[in-house]
Amino acid sequence: MKTKQVIVPNYGSIDVLKMEEKDISNPGINQVMIQNKYISVDYTDIYWRTGQLDAPQPPLIPGKAGAGVVAKLGPNVTKFNPGDRVAYIQAPGAYAEYFNAPAKMVVKLPDNISFREAASMMMKGLTADALIKHVYSVNHDKTIFIHAMAGGVGSFLTAWGKLLGATVIGSVGSDSKVEYAKRLGADKVINYHQEDITKTVNSYTGHKGVDVVYDGIGKATVDVSLEILKALGLYVNFGQVSGPITDFALGRLAAKTQYATFANVNTFVDDLGMLQQMSNELFKFYVSSNFKVNQEITEFSFDDVKEAQKLLESGKSQGSIVMKV
């Protein structure tokens, strides 16, 4: 059996992405073969293409999240049947028509969530779930700040934080993203090209600052994040779009006894029970809130993988990006 898949033969720009047709083996022990319907385009795919973070050595097949149908079962797999509608996360090699995924990273998809919606939420939505319910428990007493709140994870954090009753503040880079974040429920949206983040947050909070900062940008935003964070507040970094944070001295946290962590969704979803719990939380949020109506999803065909990654890397996208297979 053959499958079309995207290969990264060596690290580099989008030009290194190659579409090839290859034979696919039967699923191994504790694996399921998935026929992809939609594939998520995430920043982890950019990291892998460019050799950052946990990128394996090339040649490699990018992609870790999406949704489709179970095509075949490997030995020892008992919770799925061929034809089941499923979604998955942290299943390397997802940029393919068919691929073999670890069964423990796969969940059944409710009938009221489409393949397209599922692909848009598995990486981004589960990351938001981890950040807002498990790394730091957000509730109506909290004021939170989200960098890039119109982005993939930021969109989920914005809407979910508001649903939990928090005061939601954040930053974006354009007027159109300001309007999008407002539709998602944000209380205060800062266009960082036009307003100073620290001054605006201090004014809005009466110089109290925020309880938690969610930062997927990294190097460019760590300083302002600590400035707006209140005493005993938590700085949560979960991405390095602007570059890694290096030489971070713990003494920087001393003046206000602040806390800092790097949150990785892998830590949570690697446990089968936790993955199912978090998926249930995510699906419930998605169908019971206005997010489904307000969310923006940009769709590309699988053949347009270069354009999909180009848009994500440009920083101009709003919401999620998916590829239809």
Q: Where in the chain is the domain with CATH 3.90.180.10?
A: 2-122+270-324
State the Cα angle at 189 between 278 and 168, rounded to 5°.
40
CA atoms 43, 45, 46, 51: torsion sign: positive
Task: Classify domain 2-122+270-324 at the CATH class level.
Answer: alpha beta
pLDDT in tens, the chain (325 residues): 999 999 999 999 999 999 999 999 999 999 999 999 999 999 999 999 999 888 999 999 999 999 999 999 999 999 999 999 999 999 999 999 999 999 999 999 999 999 999 999 999 999 999 999 999 999 999 999 999 999 999 999 999 999 999 999 999 999 999 999 999 999 999 999 999 999 999 999 999 999 999 999 999 999 999 999 999 999 999 998 998 898 899 999 999 999 999 999 999 998 888 999 999 999 999 999 999 999 999 999 999 999 999 999 999 999 999 999 9
The CATH class of 140-263 is: alpha beta
Q: Provide the pLDDT for residue 247.
A: 85
The pLDDT, as a whole number, for residue 186 is 98
Q: What is the pLDDT of residue 54?
A: 82
Give ranges for CATH 3.40.50.720 in the chain: 140-263
With residue 47 as reference, give the H or E element that holds it: helix 43-50
* Whole-structure pTM value: 0.95
CA distances in angstroms from 76 to 79, 92, 146, listed in the order given: 9, 20, 42
Sheet bearing 167-172, strands edge to edge: 188-191, 167-172, 143-147, 210-215, 229-237, 259-262
SS3 state at 258: coil
User: What's the pLDDT at 195?
Assistant: 97
What letters, b where the CB count within 10 A reaches 16 and e where it falls short, cover 91-109? bbebbbbbbbbbbbbbbeb
Contact between 289 and 296 (Cβ < 8 Å): no
Element (H, E) at 213: strand 210-215
